[in-house]
């Protein structure tokens, strides 16, 4: 019968159209496609899309995971319930997105908006169900699959890529439905996620149960009341600050030296080399050498420091004093490092620019050595404690500073240097008044990298006997106290981020005005 034929083709055409729309959404994701699809939006289509998804979800859940999901006697009723849930969830979410998009200047209608979202949700949902089904057949439990962290490999990649893709489609759908700017789309999604997060937290507290946030804050408050948290923060702060301070001095000097022309050694150099050598020798001399030896008075100083230290132990400068005392207590090591440093600096003074490549190369290699390994290697000569930590931290910190000082100075335009030289500036004046000020932003960027890096390494230094925020992490791990290691991780992270922020601000402050407005 012709009537029925026509109905039949219309029927097939309808399903084909639906499938076409799905395929278009998935395979040609761009604004034009979505704007074109928007024209075909009708409410029944939305309901149908979701009903299909709900049906598949329902079938999957009921066949694979029955016990928990069967609530009535009739499977059909359960299926209907699951379909209804799917629809309801979708419309609630869609409505929230719609309202927020509207508040942020979206112009689309609810039907168009929902239609585009349903076109994304339904096929992507089907893909997820199919994935879960296959995984299930392979013997993976739902919990294992849904937890992106538990079984690495395929699941992780799938979820990350899939999530990114879904996110991308969502952006396009919103942009097309409401003819918004990209940033409005981002704000819309951000607002939804943000309010969801806030509601979630409020709900957590409203429920009145203990949760990670209340427990963690209670733990931190307790530590603060005892004064141990402050000590750890101060220990961390001073260790980083002290090392960075030394590293800036050495790093900048070395960075500057390797930009200078080579020099001939001259007798006059002995006037500072010999006294320096004698100084370090005396410094390093063990008891009994050179008469009484310098070690004794140093130890005395250190002892007085220690006495002052116990008094000031809880004070702001306490950790600094204990650092100094630890350094003073190793005269031989200090002397040795002093001699090595003098030799290196003098060699760089002579070699100047010709040593730049080698220096930067070695610096690069040292930077690849993992911090825990370096601490380990230094246990031999320096044993554990603050001295070891300060040496390792300083060594790390000066490398970005050295590198950035070098690049910063090298990047000063040659004509600027020539103008200065041509006007009769001495090399030192050129350096102080021209090269270093112009290189300051780059040098500060190096300092910033160093400090953020050191905050992390100082935490690890806790393992070789230093009181830093790392104590919380390591003790927490040892004693299996999640609250404790969370406290460590969070405070270290906050510390690093705030240092990064602060140094960003400082970098901006120290950049000469005239260099800011350019570009």
The kind and range of the H/E element at 505 are: helix 482-510
Q: Give whichever of 265 and 370 is closer to another protein, judged by the CB atom.
A: 370
Of the two residues 43 and 433, which places its CB atom closer to another protein in the complex? 433
Q: Which is nearer to another protein, 30 or 304 (CB)?
A: 30
Q: How far is the CB of 452 from another protein (least distance, A)?
A: 5
> How far is it, in rounded angstroms, from Cα 28 to Cα 20?
11
Tokens 């090269």 belong to 435
> What are the distances in angstroms from CA 246 to CA 251, 253, 390, 397?
8, 11, 10, 9
Q: Least Å distance between CB 264 and another protein?
A: 16
Closer CB to another protein, residue 251 or residue 488? 488
Buried b / exposed e across 426-464, counting CB within 10 Å, b at 16+?
A: eeeebbeebbbbbbbbbbbbbbbbbbbbbbbbbbbbbbb
Closer residue to another protein in complex, CB, 216/303:
216
**Cβ-proximal residues to 267 (8 Å cutoff; 6+ apart), any chain:** none
Length in residues, the chain: 519
CB of 488 to another protein, least distance (A): 6
CA distances, 161 to each of 59, 97, 165 (Å): 26, 23, 6
153/291 with CB nearer another protein = 153
* Residues 287, 292: Cα–Cα separation, whole Å: 6
User: How far, in Å, CA of 121 to CA of 87, rounded?
Assistant: 11
Q: How far is the CB of 380 from another protein (least distance, A)?
A: 6
- In the complex, what is the shortest distance from the CB of residue 391 to another protein, in angstroms, rounded to a whole number? 14
Distance CA 121, CA 321 (A): 62
Q: Is the CB of residue 387 less than 8 Å from the CB of residue 324?
A: no
What tokens appear for 369 in the block?
Answer: 């050595």
Q: Decide whether 84 or 162 has the Cβ nearer to another protein.
A: 162
Distance CA 151, CA 156 (A): 8
For the CB of residue 470, give the shortest distance to another protein in the complex, in Å: 7
- Least Å from the CB of residue 208 to another protein: 23
Q: Which is nearer to another protein, 142 or 419 (CB)?
A: 419
d(CA 505, CA 58): 55
What six digits make up the tokens of 239? 């260790």
* Smallest gap from residue 403 Cβ to another protein (A): 14
């Amino acid at each position: 019968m012709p009537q029925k034929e026509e109905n039949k083709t219309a029927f097939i055409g309808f399903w084909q159209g639906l499938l076409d729309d799905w395929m278009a959404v998935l395979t040609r994701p761009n604004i034009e496609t979505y704007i074109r699809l928007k024209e075909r939006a009708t409410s029944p289509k939305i309901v149908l899309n979701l009903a299909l998804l709900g049906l598949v979800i329902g079938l999957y859940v009921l066949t694979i995971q029955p016990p928990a999901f069967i609530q009535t006697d009739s499977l059909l009723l359960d299926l209907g319930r699951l379909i209804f849930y799917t629809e309801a969830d979708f419309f609630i979410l869609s409505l929230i997105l719609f309202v927020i998009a509207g508040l942020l200047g979206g112009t689309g209608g609810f039907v168009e908006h929902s239609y585009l979202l349903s076109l994304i949700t339904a096929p992507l949902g089907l893909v997820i169900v199919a994935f879960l089904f296959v995984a299930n057949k392979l013997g993976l439990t739902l919990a294992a699959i849904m937890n992106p962290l538990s079984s690495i490999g395929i699941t992780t990649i799938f979820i990350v890529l899939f999530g990114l893709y879904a996110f991308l489609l969502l952006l396009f759908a919103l942009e097309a439905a409401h003819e918004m700017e990209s940033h409005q789309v981002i704000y819309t999604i951000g607002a939804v996620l943000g309010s969801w997060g806030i509601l979630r937290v409020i709900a957590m507290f409203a429920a009145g149960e203990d949760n990670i946030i209340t427990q963690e804050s209670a733990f931190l408050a307790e530590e603060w009341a005892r004064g141990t948290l402050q000590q750890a923060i101060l220990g961390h702060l001073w260790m980083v600050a002290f090392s960075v301070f030394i590293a800036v001095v050495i790093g900048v000097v070395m960075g500057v030296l390797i930009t200078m022309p080579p020099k001939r050694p001259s007798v006059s150099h002995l006037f500072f080399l010999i006294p320096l050598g004698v100084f370090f020798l005396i410094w390093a001399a063990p008891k009994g050498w050179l008469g009484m030896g310098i070690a004794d008075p140093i130890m005395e100083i250190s002892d007085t420091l220690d006495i002052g230290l116990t008094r000031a132990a809880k004070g702001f400068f306490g950790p600094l004093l204990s650092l100094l005392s630890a350094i003073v207590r190793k005269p031989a090591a200090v002397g040795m490092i002093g001699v090595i440093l003098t030799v290196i600096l003098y060699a760089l003074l002579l070699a100047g620019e010709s040593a730049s490549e080698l220096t930067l190369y070695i610096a690069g290699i040292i930077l690849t050595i993992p911090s825990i390994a370096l601490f380990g290697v230094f246990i031999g000569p320096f044993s554990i404690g603050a001295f070891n930590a300060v040496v390792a931290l300083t060594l790390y910190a000066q490398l970005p500073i050295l590198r950035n000082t070098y690049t910063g100075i090298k990047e000063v335009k040659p004509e600027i240097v020539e103008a200065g030289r041509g006007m009769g500036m001495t090399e030192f004046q050129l350096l102080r008044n021209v090269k270093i000020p112009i290189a300051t932003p780059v040098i500060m960027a190096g300092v910033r990298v160093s400090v953020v890096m050191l905050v992390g390494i100082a935490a690890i230094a806790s393992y070789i006997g230093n009181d830093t925020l790392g104590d919380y992490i390591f003790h927490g791990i040892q004693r299996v106290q999640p609250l404790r290691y969370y406290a460590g991780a969070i405070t270290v992270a906050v510390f690093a981020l705030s240092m990064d922020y602060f140094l960003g601000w400082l970098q901006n402050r120290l950049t000469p005005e005239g260099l800011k407005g350019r570009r």
